[in-house]
Amino acid sequence: MGVINWAQFNYSIAMKKESSQTIIQKMLTTTPPAFSAEDVMRAAFNNYGIRAQTRPLVSERDQNFLLDADDGKRYTLKISNSAEQLQVIDFQNKALLHVANQDPSFPLPRVIPGLNGQRHFNLESGGKTHFVRVFSWVEGRILDELPADAALTNRLGGLLARLGLALKGFDHPGSNPPSLWDMKRAAGLADLLDYIEEPGLRRLVSRTLDRFVKLKPELDTLRTQVIHNDMSRGNVVMDKTQSDQISGIIDFGDMTRSPLIIDLAVAAAYQLSDGDDPLSGALPMITGYHAIRPLQNLEMVLLTDLIRTRLITSLLVNSYRVTLFPENREYLMISRKPAINFLTGLERLSTDDALERIETACTFA
């Protein structure tokens, strides 16, 4: 395997003590927290006065718990990876507060202040510090577990555009955290190509990455702001009693300041269709988004290639991380087969055809 050239990630970012390359490497390689249920129950009571039973929730690099409080309320307790920066924690908290102020009815978790009024506390383990937060619980069922039709996909596009409007104008010193999931940094993913074992797939991923590198100068000219950056089906919660109603958008851990169109590209990558026409599944989302926040022409031109770039990001990062954390292989590789199928299907779609279909979808907004 090749040695990762972290110099690819030498972006200017005001982070104290550590370079962005070091932070990215730590985020990729640091083992997730492993606190016990007893640790969590004790911490929730000591810092929030919440007496609760706990249940672990799935997470890639952090440790999350559902708190079932004795008073009947529910919360999410998130223990961040020890590589996480305090400035980024504050950025995420402030962004959630900003959205709640700008669009009070927007369905998202609220940050719960502790007994001391602060919105995080520290837990120590093995000489490492973990930042811990508690959020209001968003009740419902994860969309991943449910079917989604075109009408719902259309509403999801509108909701993402609405979130983008609420975040418009918001900024923070921690809003550009080093992350391989930030697509504007995707050129650096070339160092992970050796972790794709199949030669044919590696060539396809490499071609897709080359296309991104060529379009990057144009991407840099587009409107930029803080974006959610991960509206997957696993981060959409649906109402339990009204299966077509959205209860909320969760998991703001990948937020970043990046070109706005990347937010839609990421979300659309999770709405692609099985079979020979992957783009068809994402078109209702594009229509819904455009109705609230009209796309610029160049954004339409670049959108399909950005969707492809998101797919290879998932393949590359997770292929690398599974070598570090083989015990978490099932979770890390769950999206591998669909990503390969979608990428292969999109490869057969010409740039002109893709643009024509996106433009047509936008005319229905």
CA distances from 188 to 87, 103, 135, 203, 244 (A): 23, 36, 33, 16, 39
> Where a domain ends, among 98, 117, 137?
137
> Where a domain ends, among 137, 171, 196?
137
Q: Count how many domains the chain has.
A: 2
Domain co-membership, 181 together with 284 = yes
Contact 33, 82 (CB under 8 A): yes
* CATH at 180: 3.90.1200.10
4 inside domain: no
Tokens representing 329 are 């292989």
* CATH at 46: 3.30.200.20
What whole-number distance in Å separates Cα of residue 80 and Cα of residue 133?
8
| Tens-digit pLDDT string for the chain (365 aa) | 333 443 333 333 333 345 555 656 666 667 889 999 999 999 999 999 999 999 999 887 899 999 999 999 999 999 999 989 999 999 999 999 999 999 999 999 999 999 999 999 999 998 999 999 999 999 999 998 888 899 999 999 999 999 999 999 999 999 999 888 999 999 999 999 999 989 999 999 999 999 999 999 999 999 999 999 999 999 999 998 887 899 999 999 999 999 999 999 999 999 999 988 999 999 999 999 999 999 999 999 999 999 999 999 999 998 988 888 777 777 767 778 899 999 999 999 999 999 999 999 999 88
7 inside domain: no
- Which run of H or of E encompasses 204? helix 199-219
Domain co-membership, 238 together with 349 = yes
pTM of the complete model beyond 0.85: yes
Range of the domain at 68: 18-137
10 inside domain: no
> Where a domain ends, among 137, 169, 196?
137
Residue with tokens 């649906």: 238
9 inside domain: no
Domain co-membership, 104 together with 153 = no
- Nearest alpha-carbon partner for 62 in 262, 328, 320: 328
DSSP string covering 116-185: TS-S-EEEEETTEEEEEEEEE---SEEGGGS---HHHHHHHHHHHHHHHHHHTT---TTSS---TTSGGG
DSSP string covering 66-122: EEEETTS-EEEEEE--TT--HHHHHHHHHHHHHHHHHSTT---PPBPP-TTS-S-EE
